[in-house]
């Protein structure tokens, strides 16, 4: 059993499909939804954990991609604005996964989206507004 945290982006025409139902029923996956949003244009965003047999997760993702859903492993909805970031380091102790950490030069902040678990701790702990959420 493995768990993958992913962001799904649904184009307008696909927001009505019962995808959670199909992922559970057809691919034997457990679903844990963290965040969801439907925009005024009726596009949908979903951040969720998929748990199950790795092959079934891959098949479920392939099924989603097949009808136009974008599945993003690196992007989970947290936005880090490099232009705003002054590398003060204030966010680092508040990031539980080290998604925000100093680069090898030990002075420049870097963001690794694959490690982000969307806890949002960094947002109130960035004095410069460099961290924000698309949700």
Q: How far is the CB of 53 from ligand SF4 (least distance, A)?
A: 26
- Applying CB under 6 A, among 93, 97, 108, 124 the residue interacting with ligand SF4 is 97
89-121 in b/e form (b: 16+ CB < 10 A) is: ebbbebbeeebbbeeeeeeebebebeebbbebb
Which one of the spans 10-18, 23-31, 53-61, 91-99 is the region binding ligand SF4 (CB under 6 A)?
91-99
Site string for ligand SF4, 104-133 (x = CB under 6 A): -----x------xxxxxxx---x-x-xx--
Distance between CA 55 and CA 105 in Å, rounded?
Answer: 39
Place of tokens 């924000």: 132
Bridge pairing between strands 70-72 and 78-80: unpaired
Q: How far is the CB of 58 from ligand SF4 (least distance, A)?
A: 25
Query: Which residues are CB-contacts of 65 (< 8 A; sequence separation ≥ 6)?
Result: 71
Binding letters toward ligand SF4, positions 37-76, x by CB under 6 A: ----------------------------------------
Nearer to ligand SF4, 71 or 120 (CB): 120
Tokens standing for residue 85:
């970031």
Residues that bind ligand SF4 (CB under 6 A): 78, 85-91, 94-97, 99-100, 109, 116-122, 126, 128, 130-131
């Amino acid at each position: 059993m493995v768990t993958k945290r992913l962001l799904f982006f649904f184009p307008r025409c696909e927001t009505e499909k019962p995808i959670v139902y199909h992922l559970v029923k057809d691919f034997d996956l457990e679903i844990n939804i963290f965040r969801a949003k439907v925009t005024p244009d009726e596009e949908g965003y979903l951040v969720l954990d998929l748990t199950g047999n790795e092959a079934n997760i891959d098949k479920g993702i392939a099924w989603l991609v097949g009808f136009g859903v974008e599945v993003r492993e690196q992007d989970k909805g947290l936005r880090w604005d490099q232009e705003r970031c002054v590398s003060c380091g204030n966010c680092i102790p508040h990031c539980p996964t080290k998604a925000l950490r100093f680069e090898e030069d030990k002075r420049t902040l870097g963001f690794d989206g694959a490690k982000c678990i969307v806890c949002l701790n960094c947002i109130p702990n960035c004095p410069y507004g460099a961290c924000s959420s698309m949700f």
